């Protein structure tokens, strides 16, 4: 085995997710999508959201990418113009492919004090940007776990970890792993050589790579792109909770305007026209209003 294959990826940038207002009465900690990390191909945005029962994200459109909502606390309702409606709670996952067009609403369940979770935006390759919308939903109990050692649990949301494979279908090849590690543990996670990736720290401290870069809560830590096929992660005097996210870069032009992400300015213009006139995927948006945002 070569030296490169054995070496761990290193951390090249740490971005603090600063809190900002978003939606209606919602607070998000955004990392990817900020000026310091505009995007991280194929990833467009990462928010750690906190929404109280009176806040939320009422009816809004998307085209050209996927939104992945992973709940940590509380419950979120969702509803779209195609008649899809449901609720996800702690540990549950919704993987929504917006494709050619969706209008939906995401609102906290009113009986909850707050809804806390992560939302990731994943770009779609040009050939899939105008596909039909699709949802994949998994309850916490349906998401497979890997236990590489005592005191280390990995929820395999997408991709593979320590021989455990997710059932989620990803149009853009993606791995999404939720790690909980007790203190004084060390683990090596495999990552395909061509993938870009990052760790988002939720709680505690972790030490990453051969140089043991210190990862702190609410920071996004981007990996080196050096062909190494592993990332080494260890804890010392405290537990840690974080996600490891990586994917195949698309290496295509990105033109983003709010909730629409295409490859050219002309495609963005056409998307605004389609949404305004309710055509080419937005036909059902004309007279639709969600019931949960009322």
Determine if residue 106 is labeled as part of a ligand binding site: yes
Task: Give 162-218 as a 3 state SS string.
Answer: CCEECCCCCCCCEEEEEEEECCCCEEEEECCCCCEEEEEEEEEEEEECCCCEEEECC
DSSP character at residue 284: G
CB atoms within 10 A of CB 210: 12
262, β-bridge pairs: 255
Q: Which two tokens stand for residue 4?
A: 């490169």
Whole-model pTM: value is 0.95
Q: Which of 197, 220, 223, 195 is nearest to 210 (CA)?
A: 223
Cα–Cα dist 273/267, whole Å: 10
Whether 238 and 19 have beta carbons less than 8 Å apart is answered as: no
Which single residue is written with the structure tokens 């405290």?
238
Determine if residue 218 is labeled as part of a ligand binding site: no
Cα–Cα dist 222/148, whole Å: 23
Whether 67 and 135 have beta carbons less than 8 Å apart is answered as: no
Whether 158 and 233 have beta carbons less than 8 Å apart is answered as: no
Q: What's the pLDDT score for residue 52?
A: 87
Determine if residue 104 is labeled as part of a ligand binding site: yes
Residues 82, 85, 86, CA angle at the centre, nearest 5°?
155
Q: Which of 140, 167, 168 is nearest to 153 (CA)?
A: 140
Residue 234 to residues 9, 74, 151, 153, 207, Cα–Cα distance (Å): 13, 29, 12, 13, 5
DSSP character at residue 37: B
Peptide bond into 139 cis (omega under 30): no
pLDDT values of the chain reduced to their tens digit, one per residue, 294 residues: 333 446 899 999 999 998 988 887 888 999 999 999 999 999 999 999 999 888 899 999 999 999 999 999 999 999 999 888 999 999 999 999 999 999 999 999 877 778 999 999 999 999 999 999 999 999 999 999 999 999 999 999 999 999 999 999 999 999 999 999 999 999 999 999 999 999 999 999 999 999 999 999 999 999 999 999 999 999 999 999 999 999 999 999 999 999 999 999 999 999 999 999 999 999 999 999 999 876
Determine if residue 60 is labeled as part of a ligand binding site: yes
């Amino acid at each position: 085995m070569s030296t490169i294959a054995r070496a761990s990826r290193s951390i090249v940038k740490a971005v603090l997710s600063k809190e900002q207002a978003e939606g209606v009465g919602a607070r998000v900690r955004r990392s990817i999508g900020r000026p310091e990390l505009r995007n991280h191909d194929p990833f467009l945005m990462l928010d750690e959201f906190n929404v109280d029962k009176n806040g939320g994200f009422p009816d809004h459109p998307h085209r050209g990418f996927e939104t992945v909502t992973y709940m940590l606390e509380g419950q979120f309702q969702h509803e779209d113009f195609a008649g899809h409606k449901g609720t996800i709670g702690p540990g549950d996952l919704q993987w929504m492919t917006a494709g050619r067009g969706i209008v939906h609403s995401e609102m906290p369940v009113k009986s909850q004090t707050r809804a806390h979770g992560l939302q990731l935006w994943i770009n779609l390759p040009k050939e899939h940007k105008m596909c039909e919308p699709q949802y994949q939903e998994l309850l916490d109990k349906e998401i497979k776990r890997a236990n590489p050692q005592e005191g280390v649990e990995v929820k395999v949301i997408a991709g593979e970890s320590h021989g455990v494979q997710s059932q989620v279908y990803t149009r853009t090849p993606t791995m999404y792993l939720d790690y909980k590690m007790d203190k004084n543990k060390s683990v090596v996670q495999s990552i395909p050589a061509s993938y870009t990736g990052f760790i988002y720290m939720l709680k505690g401290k972790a030490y990453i790579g051969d140089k043991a870069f210190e990862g702190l809560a609410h920071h996004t830590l981007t990996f080196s792109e050096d062909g190494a096929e592993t990332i080494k992660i260890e804890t010392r005097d405290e537990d840690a909770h974080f996600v490891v996210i990586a994917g195949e870069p698309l290496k295509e032009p990105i033109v983003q305007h709010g909730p629409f992400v295409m490859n050219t300015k002309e495609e963005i213009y056409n998307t605004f026209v389609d949404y305004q006139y309710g055509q080419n995927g937005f036909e059902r948006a004309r007279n639709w209003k969600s019931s949960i945002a009322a």
